[in-house]
A and B are shown apart, each in its own frame.
Chain A
């Protein structure tokens, strides 16, 4: 067992701060990376040490520069690297380089990252261990025609997915033969861009499924538990916007069966650290393994809230080769938790990023409210990174009360300077289909008439405010008084010479 005394956080924003908080609690020194893109970001204030990456001349973005990160860890004699989510979190090469340099990678082994990261291999493993699956191509596709052939067997609609993908990028739904050519090109193009790997595969597309994922935790000795599910069906273009735990759709029996399946696949690959097994759940309770995310998830706080387990702490303990002290029986689901992702996006303009400076932010406070954020008043939302401003997590007694508390908290969360997804979150939480729990991944397109919440009289008041400002401006203009007498007082010395 090797005690970790220092961690290099190869990430930014709220997750960097989240990791630092646990590290502080455990008495571990933290190192963060300062980039030229956001040299004043607040995560820098939390860390014990700052590694300056502002003077770099490479095209590779800072958090993707494997060699530079490894070099930094070696230079500062840092014991471990936490990759957070995104960036290099699921890059097997990075994990392998850590292993080579005897730096503890806080996450699973490079081998497992590779296997689970490649969806084709992951599926083969799942198939071997009798985990229910959605059928599709046996491997990567060579061209669009091949995809059309497979689609003929499994039937439309089908979905094209990037083999090394995640987070919705490189995914395209195809309804018929004629759309295949274009979508194939777009999917490979996007996959190439996002993951440096153009390979895509095709599989049957389940319409309107629920997206349910299980949080698992395993140590290096093979002890594995799950910490219940997360309901992530509120998605737009495969981007999660609001998550909750537990899911209103799961019965105790279903939870048990899905949880077991999650553990089975986790053990099958000798997984250790925290991970997430994603399933699609259809209306009849049939579930299908989709993929395993070999990292800490953005939405991990909802699980932490209802189970009381600090997932980052567990990740670090596993990395130190500690044995899991928790057993499956220790995991009790306590109440309900919802997370709203507050992104700098213009919901009214199709969720397009709304870049700019957060002029002011005021956060709600109170019992059961948790906010994970990496910004403060004056922070800039840059085009270089994702548009997340904060995660607002509310923990309550039951679903009904949690929804109410969340609406209340959203009302108190005020952000000036950019448009955010707050009106969207309010609209979801007040939607009947959401409230009764029967929603699925097509919720936004199908069940939401309006993607943003409007309060009564709001439109009229906005019109009033425009008018008020305009009227004031005109009045000010009309009242302008020019002191022209002062203009006539000219130094005779000057006046004499002003004429030429």
Chain B
């Protein structure tokens, strides 16, 4: 081919217009403290592995204004694929510099195309969202576009990992795609999500609220739980996405990704013996225990700021991914409430979908009592966590660190709801209810007659703890497999999960279960 000829020149002109657009986009986005869509992709993927498709797709009139950068370049979205940590991954990144990243016909078509590809290939899909919403000019076509995306989100759910990264606005219908995916990331100050914006809130309720207060990263991370991860800036956000992906398989048939462990497989961790305080009512940070158990102390927490009374996150044991669910005695004494149950349930179901074994660290005094909780439907929400654990067929191992009382004991992956191995530390207290409550019922009369009821109650509680609320009764009856030295926990868990690698459970075929929603 004549590289100086007309045919090749046209090809080069097109390339040039692409460069031109990129330059403009960078200037515009940087002025807002944001990165351009292509820069984000560059940060996310391994060097020189990204391949873009449909770069010149546009909904502008074809022909006369072809190739002009300011005419709906790429129709406001960059789509393609590449490698992240060496693994094939698909991406779409909305380009706010083109018609506000609004979702038009071609825009939607590009996204659905890349989603279909990721489904066929069984590779994760990441959406980098920075969009003003539906393109008003396109009318119903853009609404149909959203619907196409929603449908694919649901079809891909539990087949390939889907991650949404909110890096700019996401309002109205646009919020539902992230809500349907597995994990949502947000960048502080420059991203927000809401169904109705501050203007509507002002009109309808006459309340003044800023975008950040209504749907900023902090709000969604702390209050609504919509955002699973939030970061100060976009570079850290994208790094976080890479980190999260490293724990996942590419699809629901693979095993999770493996990273050769540099930690000692047989690490005997004496510090674990000092985690649980001698005073049974004293709080401690369960994350300290997690960090001592897992490889190199590395724990990626999911929804760190939401429902902090339960801790969820990913880590590795001898190189293999595990999901961890742990009660957090530091917050609300580790009780289960509505938010914690939902957070835990969603996490357990994700792990189950993608063959990630679940480790449960239990220290739960029960469900949170209260009118608000009961009115709010603690029964049905608590049932979600119970359902999720019962339903999960991945390897499930529990370590009871301290309290395991009442219904909450059953819910937190007890042996009878399908837990494969249950271990307990010597500090474990397993019983129908806590000592104080039990004593108040069993010794009601004695307490009423005592001269110093507080002291008598404490003495009885100690006796109860000694005789009933300990791990040995459960151990003797087989509800606990072994009472272990805390220092041995890591070694025991590695052996247990290795033994469970080929676990398989026969379950009746059905369309799908009916999780209590």
A and B touch in the complex (CB under 8 A): yes
Contact A486 B258, CB 8 Å, known A57-B455, A477-B242, A500-B509: yes
Query: In the bound complex, do residue B507 and residue A500 qualify as a contact, i.e. CB atoms below 8 Å apart?
Result: yes
B: residues with CB less than 8 A from A are: 85-87, 239, 242-243, 246, 249-250, 252-260, 278-279, 355, 454-455, 458-459, 462, 501-502, 504, 506-507, 509
Task: Report which of A36, A37, A57 forms a contact with B458, defined as CB distance below 8 A.
Answer: A57
Instruction: Establish whether residues A482 and B255, one from each chain, have CB atoms under 8 Å apart when the complex forms.
Output: no
Q: For B321, give the chain A residue with the smallest CB separation.
A: A487
CB distance from B138 to the nearest CB of A (A): 39
Query: What are the interface flags for A468-500 relative to B under an 8 Å C-beta threshold, 1 for contact and 0 otherwise?
Result: 000000100100111110111111011101111
Assess whether A474 is in contact with B239, with CB atoms less than 8 Å apart: yes
Q: Is A411 an interface residue (CB 8 A)?
A: no
* Alpha-carbon distance between A383 and B272 when the two chains are bound, in angstroms: 21
Q: Is A455 an interface residue (CB 8 A)?
A: no
Using known A-B contacts A39-B278, A481-B85, A497-B504, determine if residue A487 contacts B250 with beta carbons closer than 8 Å. Answer: yes
B504 touches A481 (CB 8 A): no
Q: A55 at interface (Cβ–Cβ under 8 A)?
A: yes
Given contacts A36-B278, A39-B278, A482 and B239 within 8 Å (CB-CB): no
Q: Which residue in B242, B253, B506, B509 is a CB contact (below 8 Å) of A498?
A: B253
Residues of B close to A55: CB separation below 8 A: 462
A498 close to B355 (CB less than 8 A): yes
Interface residues of A in 439-477 (CB under 8 A from B): 474, 477
Contact of A100 with B by CB under 8 A: no
Name A residues whose Cβ lies closer than 8 Å to a Cβ of B: 36-37, 39, 54-55, 57-59, 474, 477, 480-484, 486-491, 493-495, 497-500
Which among A37, A482, A490, A495 is the interface contact of B86 at CB below 8 angstroms? A482
A484 near B259 (CB under 8 angstroms)?
A: no
Which residues from chain A contact B86 at a C-beta distance below 8 Å? 481-482, 484
- Contact (Cβ within 8 A) B459 A57: yes
| Residue in chain A with minimal CB distance to B260 | A483
The distance in angstroms between the C-alpha atoms of A143 and B246, with both chains bound, is: 68
The distance in angstroms between the C-alpha atoms of A488 and B252, with both chains bound, is 11
**9 closest cross-chain pairs (CB), A and B:** A57-B458, A482-B257, A486-B258, A482-B85, A483-B258, A487-B255, A487-B254, A497-B504, A484-B87
List of A residues within 8 angstroms of B504 by Cβ? 493-494, 497-498
What is the CA–CA distance of A497 and B243 in the complex, to the nearest angstrom? 30
- Determine the chain B residues whose CB is within 8 A of the CB of A500 once the complex forms: 507, 509
Q: Which of B249, B455, B459, B502 contacts A491 (CB 8 A)?
A: B502
Known: A482-B86, A482-B258, A498-B253. A493 touches B502 (CB 8 A): yes
Q: Hey, which chain A residues are within 8 Å of B509, CB to CB?
A: 500
Given contacts A480-B242, A493-B504, contact A487 B454 (CB under 8 A): no
Question: Cα distance A55–B455 when bound, in Å?
Answer: 12
15 interchain pairs (CB within 8 A)?
Answer: A36-B279, A57-B455, A57-B462, A480-B246, A482-B258, A483-B258, A487-B250, A487-B254, A487-B258, A490-B254, A491-B502, A493-B502, A493-B504, A494-B502, A500-B507
- List of B residues within 8 angstroms of A477 by Cβ: 239, 242-243
Specify the chain B residue showing the minimal Cβ separation from A36: B278
Cβ contact of A487, chosen from B249, B455, B459, cutoff 8 A: B249
Q: Bound state CA distance, A494 and B86, in angstroms?
A: 25
Interface centre among A55, A484, A494 (most CB of B within 10 A): A484
Residues of A contacting B258 with CB < 8 Å?
482-484, 486-487
Residues of A near B462 (CB, < 8 A) are: 55, 57
- Separation of A481 and B252 alpha carbons in the complex (Å): 21
Chain B residues whose CB sits within 8 angstroms of the CB of A499 once the complex forms: 253
